[in-house]
Amino acid sequence: MGIAEKFIKQGQLDQEEYPELLKLYKDQKTIDLLKQEAVRIQKKYFGNKIYTRGLVEFTNYCRNDCYYCGIRRSNTNAVRYRLTKEEILQCCENGHELGFRTFVLQGGEDPWFNDERMVDIIQTIKKNYPDCAITLSIGEKSKESYRKFREAGADRYLLRHETANEDHYRYLHPENLSLSNRKQCLYDLKELGYQIGAGFMVGAPGQTMENLAEDLVFLKELNPHMVGIGPFIPHHDTKFAKEEAGNVELTLFLLSVIRIMLPKVLLPATTALGTLDPRGREKGFQTGANVVMPNLSPVKNRKQYELYDNKICTGEEAAECRGCLSRRARSVGYEIVTDRGDSPMI
């Protein structure tokens, strides 16, 4: 039995075995085998439904300085913005009319949005749209802050672990950030009853197949409700400006692997995947992804939330992306739906 068959049979491998599987990401027979199994599982739990979340990028101020990210603190060329509460609510209003029932509030780690302001925004969105889920994606906070947001009505939290290897984590982040704290945040969030999302960039500078093996083992152990992976894409104003972008085939291969390893997981076909390949998101659905997260941010600010170069959908209105994604999903036999799309694990 080959390594792919073994993985499919067991739903996981030992850490030392993963590199052997991952190195086959260009092998057509293996690709097809994993893809077929991933889609079988995806159809079993989700049918041909693709869940959608409206992304509100409400601030690009950030106190952190992650080496890969375009809105890192030391990028003095970044034009900074913060949406007002009214603007955030307006994004939700547009989104709600378009059928979105999950709002993802994403931003840099911006101290201006302290607990009090976040709680007020969360409570107001929940009051206006009681049928909607709120997802936060605002980085590392204290457990106390996470508790307050949860009590205010936040349902889910996205915090990519970025890499499960200590040395690689050091390579990607400045001294003040640590993998242990990142993991602690994820466990705290889980304990507080959030549906949580972890994840990493495929092809991040310095990443090895052994690192990816560690990521997979960590994900299996954490057992998150959602896993966000997308290719690394260099940003011209960062330390990694001259690095190569991640590989689309490897990203798709990993989507299949993660779908097989965590059958009920929510798995987005990311904007980064769509940026590197014009049909990247469609290919993502066809390899196991079942979520998309189009942008609801005001078009005037879209280009300013630039984590990486050439990001797609920075000129389109939310309604255009909604229509575009419906057509794209339909073109490969899937359908965008408007439910909250809670994790089947809860």
Any residues with CB less than 8 A from the CB of 219 and at least 6 apart, and which?
Answer: 198, 227, 258, 261, 262
Q: Pick the closer one to ligand FES by CB: 27 or 320.
A: 320
Rounded to a whole number of angstroms, the minimum distance from the CB of residue 48 to ligand FES is 19
Binding residues for ligand 5AD, rule: CB under 6 A, are 68-69, 160, 162, 201, 230, 232-233, 235, 272, 307-308
Q: Give residues 170-199 in contact with ligand FES (rule: CB under 6 A).
A: none
**Residue-wise DSSP of 143-183:** HHHHHHHHHHT--EEE---B-S-HHHHHHHS-TT--HHHHH
Q: Using CA atoms, how far apart are residues 208 and 212, in angstroms rounded to an integer?
A: 6
**Smallest Cα–Cα separation from 125: which of 75, 163, 86?**
86
Name which of ligand 5AD, ligand FES, none residue 69 binds, using a CB cut-off of 5 to 8 Å depending on partner kind.
Answer: ligand 5AD
Contact 202, 247 (CB under 8 A): yes
54 binds ligand FES (CB under 6 A): no
What is the sign, positive or negative, of the torsion defined by CA atoms of 70, 212, 292, 161?
negative
Name which of ligand FES, ligand 5AD, none residue 27 binds, using a CB cut-off of 5 to 8 Å depending on partner kind.
Answer: none
Rounded to a whole number of angstroms, the minimum distance from the CB of residue 311 to ligand FES is 10
313 binds ligand FES (CB under 6 A): yes
Contact 193, 156 (CB under 8 A): no
324 binds ligand FES (CB under 6 A): yes
Q: Which stretch binds ligand FES (CB under 6 A): 33-41, 62-70, 113-121, 316-324?
A: 316-324
Alpha carbon 65 to its chain's center: 19
Contact 292, 327 (CB under 8 A): no
Name which of ligand FES, ligand 5AD, none residue 294 binds, using a CB cut-off of 5 to 8 Å depending on partner kind.
Answer: ligand FES
Contact mark string toward ligand FES, 280..299, x via CB under 6 A: --------------x-----
Rounded to a whole number of angstroms, the minimum distance from the CB of residue 14 to ligand 5AD is 26
User: 330 burial class (0-12, 13-18, 19+ CB within 10 angstroms)?
Assistant: middle
Q: Pick the closer one to ligand 5AD by CB: 173 or 235.
A: 235
Name which of ligand FES, ligand 5AD, none residue 324 binds, using a CB cut-off of 5 to 8 Å depending on partner kind.
Answer: ligand FES
Q: Using CA atoms, how far apart are residues 320 and 40, in angstroms rounded to an integer?
A: 31
Name which of ligand 5AD, ligand FES, none residue 125 binds, using a CB cut-off of 5 to 8 Å depending on partner kind.
Answer: none
Q: Which stretch binds ligand FES (CB under 6 A): 20-28, 37-45, 312-320, 331-339?
A: 312-320
Q: Pick the closer one to ligand FES by CB: 273 or 321.
A: 321
Q: Using CA atoms, how far apart are residues 58 and 87, in angstroms rounded to an integer?
A: 9
The residues that touch ligand FES, with contacts defined as CB under 6 A, are 294, 313, 316, 320-321, 324-325
